[in-house]
Structure 1
Amino acid sequence: MAKTSKKATRKFEKNHLKDSLERRKVGAKIKQKVQIKEKRALRNAKDAEFLGKGKAEDGEEDASEPKADPFGQMSVDDFFAGGFEVPEKLAKKNAKKALGKRKRSEPEAEKEEDEGDSSDASYEEAPVASDDEGSEDEDEDMGMSKEAMEALAEKDPEFYKYLKENDPETLDFDEDADLAEVDGLSGSEEEEERPKKKSKKSKKAKAEEMEVDEESEEEMLDETEVTKEMVAKWKKAMSEQHSLRAMRQVVLAFRAAAHVNEDEGKDYKYTITNPEVYHQLLVVTLQLVPEVLQHHLPVKESAAGKIRVSTDSKKFKTLTPLLKSHTTSVQHLLTTLSDEATLKLTLSTINPLLPYLLPFKKVLKGIVKTVVDIWSDASSSEATRITAFLVVRRLAVIGDAGLREAVLKTVYQGLVKGARNTTIHTIQGINLMKNSAAELWGLDPTIGYTTGFTFIRQLAIHLRSSITNNAKESYKTIYNWQYIHSLDFWSCVLAEHCSPLNEAARGKESQLRALIYPAVQVTLGAMRLIPTATYFPLRFHLVRSLLRLSRATGTYIPLAPLLLEVLSAAEMKKHAKPSTQRPLDFAVSYKAPKIYLRTRVYQDGVGEQVVELLGEFFVLWCTSVAAPELGLPVIVMLKRWLKEAGAKTGNRNGKVNAALGILVQKIEANGRWVEERRVKVEFAPGNRAGVEGFLKGFGWEKTPLGAYVVGQRKQREEKARVLEAGRRDEDKKGGKRGRGEDVVMDDVVESSDEGEDDE
């Protein structure tokens, strides 16, 4: 609803609003000093009573005597209790009881007062810092502001001299006075942010009476436009003096900049209309706010990586509202930015703020969610994603166990959501996410194991439900990109943290090694869920995941039978029909379209995948003492298959058959090569140390099978470069980007919650 501008409002705003606001601020300072001195006087009185000085009797005697000199019979503590009142105002002692919130029972008189001089504007409504925010000792040490000290010296030089001689601490002008003002301003900021809540708490009549003042104040705030001169002034004060006041103004202006061009009905103190000013303000805020915080609240980091910040100090408590406001503005700004350079700059400035935000778990969880969304967004550049990941990693390093667990869960859910669409254009970003996120699970082995166990268990539950459920579409919870990338991600995690080199560096076996067996079992079960030719690409993806895990951890996983099952399918045994379709890209496909089934182009592609994966599997054990025995069953089955394929009723695919024939020859040659060296050994098969040390350190590339695999890898890399160059040429010519199937698997995203329920 639009605000109505009354005549009284406009007149008051034009003539008296600025002076009224200044008086309120001065009144807030005075009232705060009065409250502090009253508390000190009360404490001194209690101490005097405890020591038996009999102040009550002295008070009665003083009351009966005439008071010639107002200061003659008054102690310093009694004077402090009076709130710095000068002698001529002592007669109005009873008026002190009227301090507090005024009752506006006469609206007409109030309007006249607003239209008139308005010199008696109430100070009581101005925000005052709460006494319970700091300790009593901190309140006692609070010094006067410079303005109040100069005013007292000019108005009453004799009393100023007396205070200087007897109580010099009262006249100290230190940084605490500045902090008190920032604290008071922070309180006014909170009131500005909650005008509706305040009106609900107040009475209806009072709300109507205060409408003029509130509207005038808000309208004045709306009219304050940020200029280049203001930004330059703030920048100078923050960079040279580390001014907290300038930082607060910058934070308020930055909050308005973060919500620019938004129509949410909220009013801010500043407005930004100039794009250059907007950019300058963003740069100044993002660069200098962390520097000012570091100056006033230094962050200390130990050699072990532990962070220490003085969160119990008065400075930290005073700056908490500004810190939260700035963090919330940064978080909101991240959701609206589209420029990669600005987005990267904003993300990089979050790292210095994280140590100060550790006590505020709710704020941190919001930051993590926003940063993870950027990290998992396919439209983000690689540099932006890396910057976002560094923020998440920093928080996981300095956070406690609870925060670390929340970070891991949020990252995993972001990974699953970001892997929903897999195309030739997004596959690199998804691989970047998997490789970077895998590092986080090694920061805390205990938390890594518990979260890993929960998520792998959920994948197993989904697989079991799909097997036992007879519904027609139940398999779709398993056969989609999210499930495939989840299994591949856990193979990355286990391969990185369970390798013998990493375990030797840590001096102990990784706790994550216990997850290898369940991860392998779930992957094998997913491969065999629907063993049809349509889902051969999915099987190849999962075989590659297990190959990575076996290569890194030294775990033997029987993958040859899974590949021989592919050759035993009718798709590879029977003659295929010719087709003009382009070869299927197995890297970004988990399902073959119907148009490819029983075609020569699909048969060639499947044959190439089988030859490649069989070679990669056997090359893992090409230097093993058991290599001849491992290869013998596969050699027998492949020779039998080649004999059937070469018959009249066979597939008659010379390309695939020739490639498999060469592979058989290399496996046989490698077996003979191992047997020649095995003859020279002197240990028995039961000698585990001797078996593991056989050909240890010998380069696998120098074996017959290893040399063959190296040559095949080079050919595939060259072919991939040619295809990538062709795709780029098509994109330049205006070719459309192909998009993969958008398969939703919300169950995997919610797996963490389900895991807790099932436990």
Structure 2
Amino acid sequence: MGKAKKSTKKFNKNHLKGELARRNKFRKTKQLIKKREQKKSKRSGSSHDEHSDDDFTGIEEVDGLAEFAESSLKGAGASMDVSKFMEADPNKGGSSDESDSEDIDALLSEGDSEIESGSDNDNEEMLSGSDADEAEEIEAAEDEELGSDEEKSFKEQFESMKEKDPEFFKFMQSNDPEFLKTMEEAAEDEDEDEDDEDEDEEQKKGNGKNEDKDDDQDLEMGSADKRKGVLVTAGLLKSWERQVAGKRSLRSFKRLLLAFYSASHMNAESDSSSSMPFRIEGVTVFNKTIATAIRVAPAAFKHYAPVEDGKINRKASGKKWNVVQALVKSYLSSLLALMGQMSDVVMVQYLIKECERMIPYYGCFVRSTRDLVKELLRQFGSASANDSVRILALLVLRQLVSASGTEIADMALKGIYLTYVRSSNVRNIGSLARIQLMRNCGVELYGNDASASYQHAFVYIRQLAIHLRNSMQLRSKESFRAIYNWQFINSLHFWTEVLATYCGDRADEQPEFCATLESLVYPLTQILLGVARLVPTAKFFPLRTHCLSQLLRLSSATGIYIPVLPMIIEMLESPDFLSRRPIKSTLKRPQFEALLKVPGQYDHTRVYLEVVLEHAFDLLADAFASQSVRIAFPEWCVPAVLQIKRWRKRAGQSWPKFSKQLQGLLEKIEQTSRVVQQRRSKVDFAPANFTGANQFMNDVSADETPIGAYAASLRKLRAQQRATLFEAEANNN
């Protein structure tokens, strides 16, 4: 048998035992799972209990909801595997932090087993023919230079295997005796290689250069106790920096990065922290180590692997990249480990910016890129994170998505949505501002790729439809809780904002987004209508106002008509206003922005009903304003105007303030009707001309009409009041 390659020796020495043990364990586990599945299939029946055809499901209330819940991805995302986006169990409610946490963990750890092979393939694309032989020689030299002197002899490990692990030795004797013979021969070759290397080193010592003389002396002084690692000092750091900057010493650069690795993993919980190659003592040395590595590493990487147009120029770097790629990977992982330990806002921002500079190098390693996405999402969703950190994490994520492939883009889009959902529980008024910022950031990230955005939006909107359908079928308190929670409502708010932004506000800037996402407006509208009507009692009026405001936002942005007025009138015609005398109370005014269901002590109190009327009035003004530039506005508003007048006659005396506000609103509606009629009298096309009807009053903004200007002033006033509440809440905290 011929002499084994050094790579084969190294694998046999470091990885063979673990690989065989892993395969045996995997085979046993697979057999055990197969047996369990067979037992379960025998025990379980072939069918599940189904609802009878006579049971009322409630789906008839929402047209097309059942069809959408049973539909599949079409159009831009027809070729995508939808199953990989459906980890979340539709039968579990959206209110569980644990379920969302498991979902995001499953996302962020997906596919780790395939990363190493993928990254290796990327690095080996440029090697072929004689270049591969030269690369092997460079890798061998790198192994000798970067720490082969720290490894134990292969022969000693093989000889001690009989005593340390006799079971494994017996297993090899019974299963593969020829391989044991090969290992013995490789051990003998190892001895010969070591003798040759010793002779070569003795010759090199007499003729070698002294470029690392100071460095070696410092290491000898600090290596008294190798178990604790070499003690890093300021002088040692200066020596390494001088060698790297002046002479491009790979050995000094490697030691500097090892010291940086030791500093970034000082607080690691694993046992590896006790066997670090270097020891950091004191805050001053720690800070100097971090600062030196971050200052020196980018310049060194630029020398060995220059970046052009956001990518590493492999032709310019040549064989140097094969030498330093392990150092690059170590530096990137150390950056992420250090960022995970930092709590100071300034330091976290500094490290995120450093990661942004290293994005071209992250792109060379799939696993490192995924780790970067995980850490950015963690910083984005952290409850203690500063708003500036969230914005900076979003900017880096956007740049990373633009520079990477579809796999990273899918991971970032899914991750930012699930992180938003997991962090969207509203506990007080102060948390609304944070959730709003996270929602805006997520909407911005979904503006990179129309096809990917459609795929994710379709899957998650369909998931919301499944939740609602199940709740309508069961009609129980538990099923209602799966819908009436902040995570579900804020999920609807997220997709409402996505569709309103790219199908309305930015439709002219990005027409491809509008054409791709517009088909999702209808199912999202049906879900919002179904959620608003699921439990139509006065206790859930805050939730209904949230749904109606989202519908109005969607309608005004996209120009699609959504029948919102009937649901607002239903709130006014509640028995709490028409047939019962309200209860006087001294309770504090409830904040609808932070409520889905009013507490029990507010039931039928005057203070609560007054807040309901205020929000109903704002919704009425916005609903009329959104249609104020339509050619049919004078006729469209007639039924609602009659109902409002009828309500004023029946309940106006009990609510004089609100009745007076309604009178002013009716006057603005009448003024707007006259304006539309005047413009309509000058048109020269028939009612059958839909193109002309749709272009009617295109030169007039909705905020310029009488009712539109009135609604805009109300929105401005509410925004000022909300800002005051946020400021007061922040001062109290």
Q: What is the TM-score with the length of structure 2 in the denominator? A: 0.69
1:460 is aligned to 465
Matching residue of 1:300: 308
Q: CA deviation at 1:509?
A: 4.7
1:137 aligns to 2:130 (yes or no): yes
For 1:702 and 1:637, the matched residues in 2 are separated by 26
User: Given the alignment, which residue of 499, 519, 535 partners 2:540?
Assistant: 535
Q: CA offset at residue 366 of structure 1? A: 2.6
1:285 aligned residue:
293
1:447 aligns with 2:452: yes
Partner of 1:671: 673
For residues 578-617 of structure 1, what are the structure 2 equivalents within 5 Å?
578-617=584-623
8 Å CA contact retained: 1:186, 1:321 = no
Report if the CA contact (8 A) 2:237-2:289 is conserved: yes
Label 1:399 to 1:724 Cα distance change in 2 as closer, same or farther (>3 A): closer
Residue 720 in structure 1 maps to residue 726 in structure 2: no
Count how many residue pairs are aligned between Structure 1 and Structure 2.
557
Q: 1:408 aligns with which of 397, 406, 413?
A: 413
Task: Map 1:473-484 onto structure 2 (within 5 A).
Answer: 473-484=478-489
Residue 365 (str. 1) matches residue 370 (str. 2): yes
Question: Cα 1:424–1:310, aligned 2, differ >3 Å: closer, same or farther?
Answer: farther
Q: Is 1:694 aligned to 2:696, yes or no?
A: yes
Pick which of 290-299 and 489-498 moved more: 290-299
Alignment map for 1:247-646 (pairs within 5 Å): 247-262=253-268, 264-266=270-272, 267-301=275-309, 314-499=319-504, 501-503=506-508, 505-506=510-511, 509-573=514-578, 574-646=580-652
From the superposition, tell whether residues 443 and 244 of structure 1 become closer, same or farther in structure 2 (CA, over 3 Å).
Answer: farther
| Counterpart amino acid of residue 371 in structure 1 | L
Q: Which residue identity lines up with residue 656 of structure 1 in the other structure? A: F
1:225 to 225, 231, 248: 231
Distance of 1:492 and 1:716 partners within structure 2: 20
Once residues 412 and 730 of structure 2 are traced to their aligned partners in structure 1, the CA distance between those partners, rounded to angstroms, is: 37
Q: CA deviation at 1:681?
A: 1.7
Helix, strand or coil for the counterpart of 2:469? Answer: helix
Change (3 A) 1:467 1:140: closer
Query: Which residue in 2 is equivalent to 1:658?
Result: 660
- The answer to whether the 8 Å contact 2:305/2:313 transfers is no
Bigger mean CA offset, 655-664 vs 512-521: 655-664
| d(CA) in 2 for partners of 1:484, 1:201 | 65
The residue type paired with residue 161 of structure 2 is K
Answer whether contact 2:306 2:317 (CA < 8 A) is retained: no
What CA distance in whole angstroms lies between the structure 1 residues aligned with 2:593 and 2:429? 8
User: How far apart are 1:292 and its partner, in Å?
Assistant: 2.4
Shift of 1:513: 1.3
Distance 2:457 2:132 in 1: 50
Alignment deviations for residues 376-406 of structure 1 (CA, whole Å, 9 cap, x no partner): 1221001111111122212211111222112
Counterpart of 2:606, as a letter, is: R
8 A Cα contact 1:575 1:653, kept in partner: no
User: Is this contact kept in 2: 1:417–1:482, CA < 8 A?
Assistant: yes
| 1:537 aligned partner, one-letter code | P
Q: 1:552 is aligned with what amino acid?
A: A
Q: CA RMSD in A?
A: 3.6
CA distance in 2, matches of 1:186, 1:426: 50
2:692 aligned counterpart, secondary structure: helix
Contact 2:421 2:491 in 1 (8 A): yes
Cα deviation for residue 530 of structure 1 reads 1.2
Separation in structure 1 between the aligned mates of residue 676 and residue 584 of structure 2, nearest angstrom: 42
* SS state at 1:222 partner: coil
Residue in structure 1 matching 2:161, options 203, 227, 235: 203
Q: Judge which range, 712-721 or 577-586, deviates more.
A: 712-721
CA distance in 1, matches of 2:300, 2:571: 64
Q: Is the 8 A contact 1:628 1:671 kept in 2?
A: yes
Post-superposition Cα deviations, 1:93-123, rounded to whole Å, max 9, x if no partner, equal xxxxxxx99xxxxxxxxxxxxxxxxxxxxxx
Q: Deviations over 1:351-387 (max 9, x none)?
A: 2333333353333223212210110122100111111
- The Cα offsets for residues 44-91 of structure 1, whole Å up to 9 and x where unpaired, read as xxxxxxxxxxxxxxxxxxxxxxxxxxxxxxxxxxxxxxxxxxxxxxxx
What is the alpha-carbon distance in structure 2 between the residues aligned to residue 242 and residue 541 of structure 1? 62
Question: Which deviates further from its counterpart, 632-641 or 538-547?
Answer: 538-547
Structure 1 unpaired stretches of 5+: 1-33, 37-99, 102-131, 144-175, 211-215, 732-736, 738-759
Alpha-carbon distance between aligned partners in 1 of 2:534 and 2:643, rounded to the nearest angstrom: 24
1:245 corresponds to which of 244, 251, 272:
251
- 1-side partners of 2:305 and 2:317: how far apart? 11
Structure 1 partner of 2:70? none
Q: CA deviation at 1:564?
A: 1.3
> 2: CA distance between counterparts of 1:566 and 1:310?
70
CA distance, structure 1, for counterparts of residue 446 and residue 163 of structure 2? 59
SS in 2 for 1:349: helix
Question: Do the aligned residues in 2 keep the contact of 1:297 with 1:310 (CA within 8 Å)?
Answer: no
Structure 2: unaligned runs, 5 residues or longer = 7-11, 14-123, 167-186, 188-221
Question: How big is each residue's C-alpha offset from its partner over 1:266-297, in whole Å with a ceiling of 9 and x where there is no partner?
Answer: 21011111112212222333344233223321
Q: Is the 8 A contact 1:538 1:591 kept in 2?
A: yes
Aligned to 1:167: none
The alpha-carbon distance between structure 1 residues 710 and 281, as it changes in their structure 2 partners (threshold 3 A), is same
Match of 2:183 in 1: none
Bigger relative contact order (CA 8 A; separation at least 6): 2
Distance between the aligned counterparts of 1:391 and 1:218, measured in 2? 43
CA distance in 2, matches of 1:531, 1:299: 61
Quote how far apart the aligned CAs of 1:504 are.
5.3
Percent identity at matched positions?
Answer: 32
In structure 2, the CA distance between the partners of 1:355 and 1:487, relative to structure 1 (3 Å rule), is same
The one-letter code of the counterpart of 1:374 is Q
1:263 deviates by 5.3
Q: Residues 725 and 377 of structure 1: is their aligned pair in 2 closer, same or farther, counting only changes over 3 Å? A: closer
Looking at structure 1, the residues matched to 569 and 314 of structure 2 have their Cα atoms a distance apart, in angstroms, of 61
Distance of 1:309 and 1:619 partners within structure 2: 59
What is the one-letter code of the residue matched to 1:668?
Answer: E
Give distance in 1, aligned partners of 2:723 and 2:133: 74
With over 3 angstroms needed to count, the CA separation of the structure-2 counterparts of 1:720 and 1:206, relative to structure 1, is closer
Aligned-pair CA distance for 1:201: 11
**Contact 2:585–2:607 (8 Å) recurs in 1:** yes
Q: Distance in 2 between matches of 1:555 and 1:199?
A: 74
CA contact (8 A) 2:430 2:730 kept: no
Shift in Å, 1:655: 2.3
Equivalent position amino acid for 2:446 in 1: W
Alignment TM-score, normalising by the size of structure 1 = 0.67
Give me the whole-angstrom Cα distance separating, in 2, the residues matched to 1:139 and 1:430: 53
Per-residue deviation, 1:558: 1.3
1:309–1:355 CA contact under 8 A, matched in 2: no
CA distance in 2, matches of 1:590, 1:508: 32
